[in-house]
Amino acid sequence: MSGPSTSLRSEPTEPQSRHAHDTWTAALTRWVEGLVPRGQWLPDRQPVYVASWIYVFGVACLASLVVIIVSGLVLSLGGVAWWHVSTLGHFVNSVHLWSVELFFATMVIHLWGKFFMASWRGNRGLTWATGALAFFGSLGTAFTGYLIQTNFDAQWISTQAKDGLNAAGIGAWFNVMDLGQMMLWHVSLLPLVVGAIVVVHIVLVRRRGVAPPIGATEPSPPGAAAAAGAAPTESPATLATRSGVKS
């Protein structure tokens, strides 16, 4: 019974209608793979027009987020009041604070840069929207961080901020004077939400690619460019743009 017939039976069979009979696993795999064009998850090449320091600030913002998360995790090891009584804890708290300041500085520059570049062009509206949502989510996360400092700032900020939230009806469920609730929002709920938005934002950036310069037209096919004697990394005549900073 062995031999060719067994071998044939063990061969995976390709369904006639692949999509109609896919397993959920295969469908999920295909969906994930299709989120961005092939080779664009982490490409080692970018369009020639990606050549300005302004592009660095999105990555710098992401790097700041990593420092925020790491310093926040170290702070959480010692507990809510650790940093008041420990020199090391106070230092880690300081790193956390300054990385947050850097995070917002780089994020705001990134946002303004994308605004002036109208980076929502070419069906990139959701990329802009998720970036803006990440900004507002970060505002809330930073705000709850100030509320859980268990010091004078936390006392003053919470008693002042409650009025706006109560007036909007939000304070009914989001009590800024409840330390336990704010602690969980700051270290769990809001970071998860912001993290998820950032992931979606990055996927959209990779999916659509970096927005071309304003006024740029469709480049000629590579063959036409080569025939015209253009260098491989230079843009065709229609792409008469490049950065004056790096190039």
Partner 1 sequence: MKRGTGGWGPTPDSHAFPTRRYDLVKEFVIALGVVSVLSVVAALVFSSPDEPAISLQQWARQAPADVVATATGELAGTTTSAGYGAPYNTAGEGQSLGPVNLQTLPGVTVPVDSAKDLVLDPVRSLTSDPAVVAAVHAWDAASADRQQAWSAAYADALAAAPDGDPAKVASGDYGPVPIIAAAELQLADGGALEGLLTSRTTFFGVDSTRALLLLADGTHLEDAARAQNLGGDQWGIMNETGNYPGQPWLWLYSLWYQVPPFSTSENADIAVWSLMILLSIGFICIPWIPGLRTLPRHLGVHRLVWRTRR
Q: Which of the residues 145 through 184 are near partner 1 (CB under 8 A)? A: 146, 149-161, 163-164, 166-169, 171-173, 175, 177-181, 183
By the rule CB under 8 A, 118 interacts with partner 1: yes
Minimum CB distance to partner 1 smaller for 118 or for 192: 118
Q: What is the dihedral of CA 165, 194, 155, 102, to 10 degrees?
A: -130
By the rule CB under 8 A, 40 interacts with partner 1: yes
Residue of the chain from 22, 74, 78, 95 that contacts partner 1 (CB under 8 A): 95
Q: How far apart are the first and last CA of the chain?
A: 68
By the rule CB under 8 A, 219 interacts with partner 1: yes
By the rule CB under 8 A, 71 interacts with partner 1: yes
The Cα-based distances of 191 to 101, 142, 171 in angstroms read 16, 10, 20
Which stretch in 1-9, 21-29, 90-98, 187-195 sits in contact with partner 1 by CB under 8 A?
A: 90-98
Query: What letter represents residue 192's amino acid?
Result: L
What is 106-136 written as a DSSP string? HHHHHHHHHHHTTTTTTT-HHHHHHHHHHHH
Q: What is the nearest approach in angstroms of partner 1 to the Cβ of residue 131?
A: 9
By the rule CB under 8 A, 233 interacts with partner 1: yes
By the rule CB under 8 A, 139 interacts with partner 1: yes
By the rule CB under 8 A, 116 interacts with partner 1: yes
Minimum CB distance to partner 1 smaller for 93 or for 191: 93
The Cα-based distances of 163 to 85, 159, 166, 170, 172 in angstroms read 32, 8, 5, 10, 11
By the rule CB under 8 A, 214 interacts with partner 1: yes
Which stretch in 3-11, 16-24, 47-55, 191-199 sits in contact with partner 1 by CB under 8 A?
A: 47-55
Q: How far apart are CA 125 and CA 131, in angstroms?
A: 10
